[in-house]
Amino acid sequence: MNEINEKLTVYYWLDGYWITDKEEAELMDSINAFGSLHQVLELPQGADIDKAVKQRLEVAA
Amino acid sequence: MTVKDTQLDLMHRKLEQHQAHEQRGLLLLKLGFLLTFLLYLLFNQHLYLGDALSWSAYFKDAASIFGFVFTVAIVVLMALFLSWVKHHAYLHFGFFGSVALVVSTVIGFALFAEFFSSSANQDVKASVLVERNSAYQATLNTESTPASAMNTGLITSIANAEQKLARCEANLKLGKEKHCDGDRAKVNALKSSEQSANHAQAQANIERDKLKYARQDELKAQSYNPVILTLARVLAGESGDYKDYLKTAVVLITLFVAVCFEILHHFLSKSHGASMAAIEDLELALAKYSEQPEPVLPSALATVQPITEPTKQPMGFGFPSTRPNTAQGASKPVLFKYQAQGEPETKAHHPIGFTFPTVAKSTLPKPSLGTQEEQLSLPDFGSFKARRDTFASPALSEAETIADEPRIDPVHGLMDDKPRIDPVHGVSEGVSLYPAWVQAVNQGLCKPSVDATRAWIQKCIAPTMTGSKTNDLKRIDLMRKAFFSRAMKEGLMQENPNYRNGGKKYLWIRG
């Protein structure tokens, strides 16, 4: 239970923009708002989201 | 044959099928119109002219003939008007949907007219059948035996006894007889017998007439359709006389027939509307798809183990699943509802519009997943990077060098170098909506206000959408909020610190 609470789900796009609201992410995908479909990243609470997203994008690149 | 050719061929075939379906539906509607006209004609005939068997009375003199012709003209014109209005109403329903008051009026009146004339016809038919029934005619021709014929012997006896009594009384006056009591008693007895006999005869006649009328009623009832008789017996139950329920049964059965006819007729109008919508959608899709270049099928898609979510509901305006599905299969590129609206039957197999870039196999260790999420391989976005001035994340921006990296502009999207904005029709297919909106605001095509942005989004996504979903303002406002949120994160806009009611709530920073 505690483990679940400690996780933070981040929804990010390939242009680096991210949000934490899943419904908003799906809504944006439904109209092709940001040019790609969102990806999901789970991070510990308090993690540096910008840095984590950037790392994911760089590794994938 | 290329994928595009196959796709076009399939769409053409589907269009031909829809057109044939529509032609058939229209033909049936015309037949329905003709039938309605005849039924209304019958109704008006019963209402204004009565049964045709009685029309001979109209041809006695010139005045009655003129009245008859005048009434016939009214009957025909009224039937034509009513049936035409009904036909028009059904076509109207096909185009614009049903209007409750008109539907109830048109169908209600049609029902009444149909079962009014039909039930009258049933009675006429039953009368004609019973008139031709020999058994029924036999009951009509049977005459009761006259009472006098039955009592001839008794009358003769009474006459003889009265003659004898008269002689006795004459002799009594002459003194030849002492009394005539015996003869008088005989006359009285005979008369009493005659009265009894007459009474018995009358009773017998009454009983015979009762039997005759009952037989006639039975024959009349039997002249109705067996289905009507069965229903009448059901309505009468155990104790009732089914003949009393014949009219009710006729009304119910004709009402049932009329209801069925009206339901089918109304269905034709719905079918007409649906066919027209399908044809228009297909023609639009054909026109759009014909202008598009050959779609690029995704290749080298990574294999993933998706976490199935069987009960998950789709989001948004009935758009395809918004779950990230970048690596679901080689034959299923990502499409958005407003991009593939015109081709509902084949969109699952043939990509139209927006296609996702080639996906590379992920070498990342699999992160831990939530219960509602799935691990998907990342697409190959090595050909783009975020630009410093448009990122929400300062940390990410600091690490980037614009000159060395391949040009990636999140403002202009990943799929297109530049959004294609048509001020009238919105955004071209395949274009990312947010960068297009940013560009539209920069170009002055859209104000950075709540209402203008909502209208802009709706115009972009609505043209190819149908039904009430286009009016989901709440969802469009959520999109608008998401756009504003990102724009403010990217420093493109900010809330007006001096906002007053009626003024600008948001300020656009980048021009």
pLDDT tens profile B373-394:
445 545 444 444 343 333 333 3
Q: Given an 8 Å threshold on Cβ–Cβ distance, is B408 in contact with A15?
A: yes
pLDDT at position B500 is: 73
The reported pLDDT for the residue numbered B286 is 79
pLDDT for the residue B483: 92
Instruction: Check A27 against B479: CB less than 8 A apart.
Output: yes
Beta strand pairing status for A7-12 and A18-19?
Answer: antiparallel
Of A14, A51, A53, Cβ closest to residue B379: A14
Distance CA B209, CA B203 (A): 10
Low-confidence ranges of chain B (pLDDT < 50): 297-374, 377, 379-419, 423-425, 464-471
Q: pLDDT tens, B100-129?
A: 766 777 777 777 777 677 666 666 667 766
Q: How far is A35 from chain B (nearest CA, A)?
A: 5
**Could you give phi then psi for residue A57, rounded to 5 degrees?**
-65, -40
- The pLDDT, as a whole number, for residue B163 is 92
Q: Which residues of A touch B404 (CB under 8 A)?
A: none
* Residue B292 DSSP class: S
Closest-CA distance of chain B to residue A42, Å: 7
Residue B497: Cβ within 10 Å count:
6
Sequence-separated (6 or more) residues with CB below 8 Å from residue B171: B177
Cross-chain Cβ contact A35/B413 below 8 Å: yes
Cβ pair A54:B410 closer than 8 A: no
Position B463 scores a pLDDT of: 55
Q: Which residues of A touch B356 (CB under 8 A)?
A: 36-37
**Complex ipTM tops 0.85:** yes
Q: What is the pLDDT of residue B321?
A: 41
The answer to whether the Cβ–Cβ distance between A27 and B363 falls below 8 Å is no
pLDDT of amino acid B263: 81
Q: Would the CB atoms of B434 and A30 count as touching at under 8 Å?
A: no
Between CA B359 and CA B325 the distance in angstroms is 11
Which one of B315, B356, B414 has the shortest CB-CB distance to A15?
B414
DSSP B240-274: S-GGGGHHHHHHHHHHHHHHHHHHHHHHHHHHHHH
Q: How many CA atoms lie within 13 A of B19 on its CB side?
A: 9
- Chain A residues whose CB is inside 8 A of the B360 CB are 60
Measured CA to CA, the distance from residue A21 to residue A23 in angstroms comes to 6
Which of B301, B319, B322 is the best mutation test for A, with the most CBs of A within 10 A?
A: B322
Residue A50 near residue A12 (C-beta atoms within 8 A): no
Kindly report, residue by residue over A1-33, the tens digit of the pLDDT. Answer: 444 567 889 999 988 899 999 989 988 988 888
DSSP string, B175-238: TS-S--HHHHHHHHHHHHHHHHHHHHHHHHHHHHHHHHHHHHHHHHHHTS-HHHHHHHHHHHTT
SS (H, E, C) B357-405: CCECCCCCCCCCCCCCCCCCCCECCCCCCCCHHHCCCHHHHHCCCCCCC
Q: Residue B75: CB partners within 8 Å, gap ≥ 6?
A: B41, B44, B45, B48, B49
What DSSP character marks residue B132?
T
pLDDT of residue B146: 58
Indicate the length of chain A as a whole number: 61
Domain extents for chain A? 2-60
E strand or H helix that includes residue B112: helix B100-131
Q: What's the pLDDT at B362?
A: 41
Inter-chain residue contact A30 with B326, CB threshold 8 Å: no
Among B339, B374, B382, the residue with its CB nearest the CB of A61 is B382
Model pLDDT, residue B15: 86
